[in-house]
Structure 1
């Protein structure tokens, strides 16, 4: 486990949502990484600053630096784990950009050959929510159980 990684505790706040500590797999003093309720591809996770703010531009320079350092650590580990050399990194910054939780977060998606018919379809899948945060009618990705997310977080935590 790296010096920045910590054991999971009571949980974190992801905007207004309480995330159990069992779903958090990596933490620093400024950020945390959690498994995704409805992943677009295997290994799709979120990296968030600890301070809940809706806009990337509201973050301090220190928070931005730590967020992107953490994204790089997570991306490297996911690419090794999923045997790939590519990832999509995405921020939906505000509701008009498709952000459904008012807390800055970076989507990290390990990418594989053929995971989408058109490479940019990944963005359509990330935006399958209405601007008001309600579920879009065409969203066919079922949410995972708490047990499924805990098991994935446990496996990811072991990478650090």
Structure 2
């Protein structure tokens, strides 16, 4: 599968899950009862998606490689969208965990974070590989993600304040 097809299929599925979550947020009368059970279900769906895109599963069949990836990323997107929906609509314990000041600020700059992460993470990963070759196992990705987050947060904040915020202050142009 070429990169364009990969991007269109996989990112569209993830984007669709985000749209579904946003649509449910706009529909005020939709409520998920038994939120703890739903949270467990969304975590399980997300983890199932992660299993489908693991090297162990992907190496099982060359014919179904792309199908496993599409299903895995779609399930992860759906699970994360559900967790996001629960956290945004929660007024109790989940909101205490995910609704703190840091996460709310991260929510505001998340689009800038999303746009910039594809540029920053590969550079940081190369840096970690080159200058910390002794990192083994899970420590290398953890160090990479921590350094990336430290770099991405101020860059995303800057991007939000310089680009997104002025456009958001204009309002919805389609309704004018």
Q: Fold conserved (TM > 0.5)?
A: no
What TM-score do the two structures reach when normalised by structure 1?
A: 0.28
Which structure has the highest helix share of the two? 2
Instruction: Between the two structures, name the one with larger relative contact order (CA 8 Å, sep ≥ 6).
Output: 1
Which structure has the highest strand share of the two? 1
What TM-score do the two structures reach when normalised by structure 2?
A: 0.27
